[in-house]
A and B are shown apart, each in its own frame.
Chain A
Amino acid sequence: MTQRKFQKTPVKMVPAPSYGILPERDVGERPVLETRNLGIDFGGLRAVEDFNLVIGKTEIAGLIGPNGAGKTTVFNLLTKVYQPTMGTVLINGRDTAGMNTVQANKLGIARTFQNIRLFGNMSVEDNVRIGLHNQIGYSTVSGILRLPSFWKGERAQHERALDLLSIFDMQDLAGHQAGSLPYGAQRRLEIVRALATNPSLLLLDEPAAGMNPHETEELMENIAKIRDKFKIAILLIEHDMNLVMGICEGICVLNYGRIIAKGTAEEIQNNPVVIEAYLGKQKEG
C-alpha cells in the first residue's frame, strides 16, 4: 500500500487546550459537542449510524470521507435539519432531542452549506445583519416607529457587521449584492454570517470548494485565526487534504455512514483502512 505524505502548509496556531476526537486525551471542561450512537435512516437507506464524536472547546476538527459517505447528513443531524432516527446530540451539554434548527442555533451551533445558501438578493452587509438578528435586537414596533432603540440597534448592527466582515477583509464589499459576489467571496460571507450568530461550534461544509490554491491557503489561516479570536470549536468537512491535514487537530473519517477511523493527521494518513477507503482512491481519482 502506498503511503501518501501531505505537505503541511505552515500555519501558525495556538495549540488547542482539549482534543475531543482523540480518545486518549482529556476533553477538558464540558465538550461543545457530543454525539452518542447518532444515526438516521432515509427509508431503507441507513445514511449514518453509530456516530460517536466529542469536540472540545476550541478544537479544530475535520470530517472526511468519500462522496456520499454521509458527511453532510451528519451536519444536518447536528443542526437539526433532520431529526435523528437513533442516538442523541448534545450541544454544550444540552440534549437537543425534539429541538429544531433555530433552537440548535440558539444553543450555539452555526453552519455553512455545501451548496451556498446566501440571501442572494440582499446586500453583503444585510446578510451579516441577519446573522446578528438574535444578537442585536429591537422590537418590530420600534422599527416601524423609528424609536431611539431602532437607531441604536441599527448602528450597533452596522458596526458589528463591518467588524465581522473585516475578518476576511470584506468590509469594502458591504454594499454589494451578495448573489453577485465571486464564488470564493460567497463562501467567506457564509462563514461571516454563521459567526455573527455567536456560536460556540462552527460547522463548515467544504469551505474551500471552488477556491483557488491561493484562496484556500488564506482560508486556512483565517480558520485558525477565527478559532483563536472567537475561542470557538470548528468542525469542517473538506476534500482538500492539504487543508484538512494542515489545520485539523483531530480528524474523523466516515465511510458508508460509519466512522472508520479517528485520530491526528499523522495517524489518519498512515491508517491502512483510511488509505484503502478514501485517501488512496483520492490519489488515483
Chain B
Amino acid sequence: MMKYKKPSRNFVTYAGVILIFLICELALSGMIDGFKMSRSLKGQLVPICVYIVMAVSLNLTVGISGELSLGHAGFMSVGAFTGVLVSQYLLFAFPDVNLETIRLIAALAAGGLFAGIAGVLIGIPVLRLRGDYLAIVTLAFGEIIRNLINCIYFSVEGIALNFGFLDPNLPGKMIINGPMGATGIKKLATFEVGFVLVMITLVVVLNLINSRSGRAIMAIRDNRIAAESVGLNVTKYRMLAFVVSAALAGMAGALYGLNFSQIQAVKFKFDTSILVLVFVVLGGIGNIRGSVIAATVLTVLPEMLRQFGDYRMLIYAIVLILVMLAGNNPFIKNTLDSFKAKVFKKSAKEGDQA
C-alpha cells in the first residue's frame, strides 16, 4: 500500500520564495561586489512575479479543480485595464494628493474584484460544460474579453470619469483609448509589491487547498457522482475555484499593467493563456510549488538565452521538450522519487508520530 503524501510541506514553498526574494534584494542593493543583477534581469523581476501568480492561480482551475481553462489571459486583461483605470483616474482626479501606495492597493483590489466578477459571469455558462468543450469555450471567452476591451474608451475630466463604447470622442484626458490601449501610465509596480502579491496568492491557494472547501473541490474533480452522493454542491465549489483563480489573475494583471508606461489588449492574446498553461503543465498539474518554479525559470530562460541570438527560441523549445520528456520518463521519475524519499524520510517519521 502506498503511504499517502501529506500535502502540507508548504513551508518549503514559502521559505523558498522568501529566500529567492532576499537574494534578489541583496543583488539589487549591490552591497556585495561582483554580485549584481543584469539590467535585463532587473526588468524581468515584476513579470516573474506576475507569471508566478498567473501560473499558481491557473493551477487552481486546471490542477485542483480539474477544468482545462484556456482563457486565463482574459482575466489578466480585465485586471490590467481595471487596475490601470483606477490608478490613472486617481492620479488625474486628485493630482495634489500623493497617494502612490493607496493607488496601487486600490488598483490591485479593483483588478481582482472585476476579474472575479468576470469569473462569475463567464463561469455561469462555462461551468455547465465539461472537458474539451469547457476548454474551447474558455478560449473563446478569453478572446471575447480582449475584443471588448478594444472597444472601450475612458477619459477623466476633473473628477468625472467618462465612458464610451466604440466612441472615442470623449472630453478630457484619455485613460483607455480603445485599440490603442492605455498610454502614459504612471508606473507603480515594484518587485517588492510583486513579492507580496506572490505570497498572498500562495497563502490563499495553499490554505484553500488544505481546507474543507479545497477538499470538496478536489473530491468533485476526482469523482463527481460520488461527490454529489455525499451532498457536495458541485456548482458552488467549481465556481469557487474558478472565481478565486480569476480574481488572482486579475490582481496579477493589475500589477502587470502598472509595470509599463503603456499596454494594449493585444498583450493578452491566446498565446499568453497557453504560455501560462505551459508553466502549469511543466511544473506539474496540481503542484503549486512546481508552478512557481516553472514560471520563474521559463520567464528568466529567454533572457538568459539572449547570447545565443537567433537560436534563442529554438533552445527554449528544446529545453521545454526535454523537461517534458524527463518528467514522463519512468526511470528518471523513480530515481527522483527514491531520492526524495531518502531526503524526507526523517521528517516523515517525525510527522507520523505527531
Does B167 lie at the interface of the complex (its beta carbon under 8 Å from any beta carbon of A)?
no
Residues facing A in B167-226 (CB within 8 A) are: 203-204, 207-208, 211-216, 218-219, 222-223, 225-226
Check B223–A193 contact: CB distance below 8 A: no
Does B27 lie at the interface of the complex (its beta carbon under 8 Å from any beta carbon of A)?
no
Please, what's the 1-or-0 string for A188-222, where 1 marks a CB less than 8 Å from any CB in chain B? 00000110110000000000000000000000000
Residues of A within 8 A of B240 (CB): 140
Contact among B208, B225, B230 for A140, CB-based, below 8 A: B208
Bound CA span A66–B230, Å:
28
Q: Contacts A102-B231, A133-B232, A180-B2 known; A144 to B203 CB distance under 8 Å?
A: yes
Bound CA span A147–B172, Å:
47
Residues of B within 8 A of A122 (CB): 4, 215, 218-219, 222
Bound CA span A134–B1, Å:
30
Does A181 lie at the interface of the complex (its beta carbon under 8 Å from any beta carbon of B)?
yes
Check A140–B213 contact: CB distance below 8 A: yes
Does A28 lie at the interface of the complex (its beta carbon under 8 Å from any beta carbon of B)?
no
Check B215–A126 contact: CB distance below 8 A: yes
Determine how close the nearest CB of chain A comes to the CB of B18; give it in whole angstroms.
18
Q: Is the interface of A mostly helix, strand, loop or mixed?
A: mixed
Determine how close the nearest CB of chain B comes to the CB of A17; give it in whole angstroms.
27
Check B222–A120 contact: CB distance below 8 A: yes
Contact among B1, B219, B227 for A176, CB-based, below 8 A: B1
Check B212–A197 contact: CB distance below 8 A: no
Check A197–B2 contact: CB distance below 8 A: no
Q: Contacts A144-B203, A175-B3 known; A117 to B225 CB distance under 8 Å?
A: yes
Does B261 lie at the interface of the complex (its beta carbon under 8 Å from any beta carbon of A)?
no
Q: Contacts A140-B213, A143-B214, A157-B212 known; A106 to B231 CB distance under 8 Å?
A: yes
Q: Contacts A143-B208, A143-B211, A177-B4 known; A117 to B223 CB distance under 8 Å?
A: yes
Q: Can you pick out 13 interface pairs between chain A and chain B where the beta carbons lie within 8 Å of each other? A: A81-B228, A101-B225, A102-B228, A110-B229, A117-B223, A122-B215, A133-B230, A138-B212, A140-B208, A144-B211, A173-B1, A182-B1, A194-B230
Chain A to chain B: the 9 pairs with minimum beta-carbon distance, closest first: A143-B211, A105-B231, A117-B226, A180-B2, A101-B228, A123-B4, A119-B222, A177-B4, A140-B213
